[in-house]
Amino acid sequence: MPETLILKKNKIWDFLEKCSKEFDVYAPVENKETGIIDLIDFKNIEKKDEINFKEKLKKGIKHFVLPATEKIFNFEYIKDVNDPESIKISLTTDTDEKAILRQGRKKILFGVKPCDTAGVRRLDIIFADETDKSGNSGSFTGPEDNVASGKNKKEEQFENYLKRRKDLLLITIGCVDIFPDCFCSSVGGHPFDFKYSDIGLIDMKDYFQVIKISDNPDAQSFIEIFNEFTEKINTSENSEAELKKIFKKSESECFSNWERIDGHDIAALMEKNFNDENIWKNISEKCIGCAACTFVCPTCLCFSINDERNDLKGERYKCWDFCTSYYYTLEASGHNPRGELYQRYRNKVNCKYHYYYKRKESLYCVGCGRCIDVCPAGMDIRDAVNIISGRSNR
């Protein structure tokens, strides 16, 4: 009789507690007042039954690798008292901040969903030239060195991202429960896709069945702790049948939310209909440009760069921005190439289903449905794709 590796639910608290001695541990907890599920530092979780294994996070995990705001450097204008017209600018990086980043402990994110890890993988491709060269190991390799010594261009540009990403360990729980706004299977994902996870688990009611353990060399000390709390049990034919039933049910429910789409065909149709103003005005009629969708999207990564100044000193920082904002494309001359809201919403949809696919042959939307969930106007990106592709319903 075959054996199966499991993690019993009554051991999870002790497992996370031991991990927290060596790592920064975060687990999903529901706020009782707002109902919002978010990753909370394990040190601030009081009760064992507070951890939510069922639902997806409200805002995902993007902010762990791509903070909403991040300082680039400090600056100071230096005047010469002997030559008042001469002004020099001194630039300094925040060495304390970089030291904290270098010395910080690795972070364990427990209970994230496959759409979360798929979103981070999209960011890896942008910021680290990461491909699937690591196979199904789930390890993050970072950019390859093109020079015999020293940092390559990507490492210099996105040093902080690469450090945060390398220090991130992902424990994913597959989606036994599918919600109306979930459609990962339709865009090439799967409710039990553990390809980009360090640990992959499936909820079998009394325990979690371990489906995937990464060979990520940066995760070995964590995996050693994990193995202390797992055990092997004999698996019957009924158990195997139950597992297949769970897989089939979740996949079927995803497709009932939206049928599978062909990335190549959708990208071509997006390009064909790009200049049809009437279609895009109709699609974006309800959009109010609030950017709630951008804030929770696991793959939106646009940012702006700003200066904050106090007298002669200041700092330059970057912060999240959003392409549906009028000011995002406003030029210094006063001209705005996307002055109309429909143009900005068109760009957002094309970013997910057209531009990225042309570059990487992969859709940039992971089907998490968060944009649908948070939209105060009831916008649904699936409707936009359906209209462009000529499909009347999901």
**Residue for token pair 């599918």:** 178
What is the model's pLDDT at position 272?
Answer: 96
Burial letters for 207-224: b for 16+ Cβ neighbours within 10 Å, e otherwise? Answer: bbbbbbbbebebbeebbe
Residue given tokens 């706020």 in the structure block = 31
Residues 6 or more apart in contact with residue 118 via CB below 8 angstroms: 184, 189, 193, 196, 298, 366
Give which of 221, 195, 191, 233 is closest to 7, Cα–Cα: 233
Using the structure block, give the residue that is written with the tokens 């997910």.
352
Task: Give me the pLDDT at residue 238, please.
Answer: 74
User: What is the reported pLDDT for 93?
Assistant: 74
Residue in this structure with the two tokens 């390559």, named with its chain if needed: 152
Closest CA to 229 of 203, 250, 208, 254: 208
Residue 35's alpha-carbon distances to 28, 31, 57, 114, in angstroms, are 12, 5, 11, 22
pTM for this one?
0.88
Say what the pLDDT of residue 148 is: 43
Distance of CA 217 to the CA centre of its chain: 22
Low-confidence ranges of the chain (pLDDT < 70): 1, 48-49, 94-103, 130-156, 237, 392-394
